[in-house]
Structures are given as structure tokens and as C-alpha cells.
Amino acid sequence: MHNRASRIVESIHESYHRFGAINHIGGPSLPSRSSVIAIMNDLESLIFPGYRADESLHEDNLRHTIGEKVCRLCRSLATEIQKSLRFKSFRELQEHGGSDVDHSWTAAEEVALELLAALPEIRRRVRLDVEAAYTGDPAGKSHEEIILSYPGVEAILIHRIANRLWNCGIPLIPRMMSELIHGQTGIDIHPGATIGDYFFIDHATGVVIGETTDIGNNVKIYQGVTLGALSVKKEAADKKRHPTIEDNVTIYAGATILGGETVIGRNSIIGGNVWITASVPPGSTIYNPPTDYIRRQKQSELPEYQI
């Protein structure tokens, strides 16, 4: 057994050198997945205090609770942001040469503080998303139910945080956040997507929103909607590849809207399972024509004949 175990160790060790994909060795330490999960949990508990963690909150201890979480988040966020910035510098040095850039703790801490300072504004926007879910879903019985249980609300909450980091030029962490919540909710929103206020994803599962998507205010989409690209060529990575959805648009289940030049005009309704690759003027209603259905009778429903 010892000899077999030794051969296994040697084989795994050799694969590290052959295939790479090792954190720490030969480059900067990468952000910790478990730390990013803890950061997401703490941020959610600041946005919705008492909803995401089992904690007893009172007015006399609320300020202390906020202070403790902000201090912890500042340290943990800055640590992971610094790792991300060092990774970015390392990659640029490998690809383009030049001198290495030492991303200081101070720079990482400043980004962390900017994100934390934006939490009141993020809370305002997420509260509008909760209101959009409450008014847009007849099954929603209370705002509390929506905050506690609607995956679409949680996905857009995390997106609004990840988008802030993305716009600050932080690599890795925004994608980690978006993919972690994707795994939990089945909603895939790239952190680069721009999403306006009062946004609601109903039923949620299977929604895909691409990197350069631009969504206006008061937009509602249903399960299985794809806002994607016509081309997945790598050389198009820096171009607008995904559609623009203007204000007050509803997109029903299974619709696929593709292309960076595709604009869905304001006040439009996009029906279920349509395929759109060209712009739609404002005030449009787009749907597939109805089909005729033939009901086949079961054998037990056929009339009996006497011979």
C-alpha cells in the first residue's frame, strides 16, 4: 500500500508541473473562495439585517453590530482585493512585460471602503427591486417573504455589489460572486451587465444576462430568458455583444434576445419562446403565432360499438 501511495503522490505532483493551475506557486496568491463566500454573507446581512443571519437586533445594539461587521468586512475585502490586484499586475507583466506593480494595502483598502460607503445606495436600489417583486408577483404575500425566499432578489443584490467591484477594475472577485450566486439560484448575471432600478426576475431559474447587456428601469423578465451574444469569438470580447433593454419592458419565459446592436424599445412586451436578433421599436408586442392543437382521445374515451 505504501508503494502505491508513493506512486500516486508522484503522479499528482508531476501533473502539477505538466498542467499547472496551482495557487500560490509561481505567482501571487489568488482570492480565497471561502473568504469571498463569507464576504458575500456579511454584505447581505448589512443590506438586510436580521434576514440573512440568526442574530438578535435591537436599536441599542444596532450601531455596534454595524460597526463590527464593517470593520471585519474592511479587513477581509481589502485582503482579497489586494490579492486580485496583484494577480492582475502579474498577468500584465507576463503578457506585456514592463515593471511589476506593487499594489499596496492602502489601495486595496480604499476600494473596500468605497464599496462599503456605497451600501446605503445599494440598499435603496435593492429595496426597489423588492418592491418590484412584490407588486409584480400576485403570489408574493409580503415584502418579508420576498426578501427571505425569492432567489431573483438575492441574485440582483449580489449583482449590484459585484458590479461595483467590476466598475472599479477589480478582477476575479466579481466573477466569483456572480458564479457563486449562479450556483445557488440558477440565475447567471455577468457582473459587467448594467441593470437599472425596479428590476424583477420572476421564477428566476435559467436566466442568462451577458456582460455588455444594458437594462433600463422597471424591467421584468421571467424564467429561461437569455440576453446573449450573436458571436462568441474571443476577438469580440471588448465590443458590445449583448442587447439593450429599455425602460418598462416585460420579457416572458424562454425568450432569447441576442446581439449588441439589438435594442428592445421602451414599453414593449416580448412573448414567451421568441427568438430576436434585431431591434424592436418602442411599444411593440412580439409573440409567436398560436398553433392548432390536436387532442388525441385515449382508448378508454372512444365510443363502444356493438357488433
Mean pLDDT (the chain, rounded): 89
The whole-number pLDDT of residue 307 equals 46
Q: What are the tens digits of pLDDT across the range 25-82?
A: 666 789 999 999 999 999 999 999 888 777 777 777 888 888 999 999 999 999 999 9
Residue 204 has pLDDT above 60, yes or no: yes
Q: Are 73 and 116 in contact (CB under 8 A)?
A: yes
Q: What are the tens digits of pLDDT across the range 144-160?
A: 999 999 999 999 999 99
Amino acid at position 142, single letter = S
Q: Which three cell numbers stand for residue 43?
A: 454584505
- The Cβ of residue 51 has, within 10 Å, a number of other Cβ atoms equal to 12
3-state secondary structure of 212: coil
The whole-number pLDDT of residue 61 equals 80
The whole-number pLDDT of residue 224 equals 98
3-state secondary structure of 117: helix
Residue 245 has pLDDT above 80, yes or no: yes
Average pLDDT over residues 204-224: 97
| CATH fit for domain 193-307, picks 2.30.30.30, 2.60.40.10, 2.40.50.460, 2.160.10.10 | 2.160.10.10
Query: How far is residue 84's CA from residue 28's CA, in Å, rounded to a whole number?
Result: 9
What is the domain partition of the chain in residue ranges?
21-187, 193-307
Query: How far is residue 240's CA from residue 229's CA, in Å, rounded to a whole number?
Result: 9
Q: Are 112 and 103 in contact (CB under 8 A)?
A: no
Q: What are the tens digits of pLDDT across the range 86-142?
A: 988 887 777 766 555 556 889 999 999 999 999 999 999 999 999 999 999 999 999
pTM of the full structure: 0.88
The domain 21-187 having CATH identifier 1.10.3130.10: the answer here is: yes
